[in-house]
Amino acid sequence: MCLAVPGEIIEITDRDPLTRSGRVRFGGIIKEVNLAYVPEAKVGDWVIVHVGFAISMLNEAEAERTLEYLAQIEAFNELEDDTLV
């Protein structure tokens, strides 16, 4: 029910603050999405979309940091394994 999917804004089609919307690409699919809740979003930005509404801007730097955190966990495992050997 709370499923939300990341997509990339490829065009802003309506600039009225309330009905602000744009075309968003999800893999090979393009859909019209309401952008009223991400007033700062522009073409090329990634947004998280739920039932036709962008509910947040995807923070690309934080997305990278999460992957780096996971890589650190991995590196820590290997370090521990080496210590055990």
Partner 1 sequence: MKYIDEYRDPVAAECCAAAIARITRRPWTIMEICGGQTHAIVKFGIDRLLPDRITLVHGPGCPVCVTPVEKIERALAIASRPEVTFCSFGDMLRVPGVNTDLQSVRARGGDVRVVYSPLDALRLAEENPEREVVFFAVGFETTAPANAMAVHQAKGRGLANFTLLVSQVLVPPAIAALLNDPECRLDGFLAAGHVCTVAGYDEYEPLAERHHVPMVVTGFEPLDILQGIYMCVRQLEEGRAVVENQYRRSVRREGNQPARRLIHEVFEVVDRRWRGVGVIPASGLALRPAYRDFDAEVRFPDGGDVTEEASECISGRILRGVTKPHDCPAFGTRCTPEHPLGATMVSSEGACAAYYRYRRPLAAQGGV
Q: In angstroms, what is the minimal distance from the CB of 33 to partner 1?
A: 9
Select the residue interacting with partner 1 from 11, 13, 15, 51 (CB under 8 A): 51
Q: What whole-number distance in Å separates Cα of residue 85 and Cα of residue 81?
A: 6
Tell me whether residue 23 is exposed, middle or buried, using C-beta atoms within 10 angstroms of its C-beta: 0 to 12, 13 to 18, 19 or more.
middle
Residue 23 lies near partner 1 (rule: CB under 8 A): no
Q: What whole-number distance in Å separates Cα of residue 25 and Cα of residue 55?
A: 15
Q: What whole-number distance in Å separates Cα of residue 57 and Cα of residue 39?
A: 10
Residue 52 lies near partner 1 (rule: CB under 8 A): yes
Residue 10 lies near partner 1 (rule: CB under 8 A): no
The residues binding partner 1 (CB under 8 A) are 1-6, 8, 18-19, 26-27, 34, 36-39, 46, 48, 50-53, 55-56, 58-60, 62-63, 65-67, 69-71, 73-74, 76-77, 80
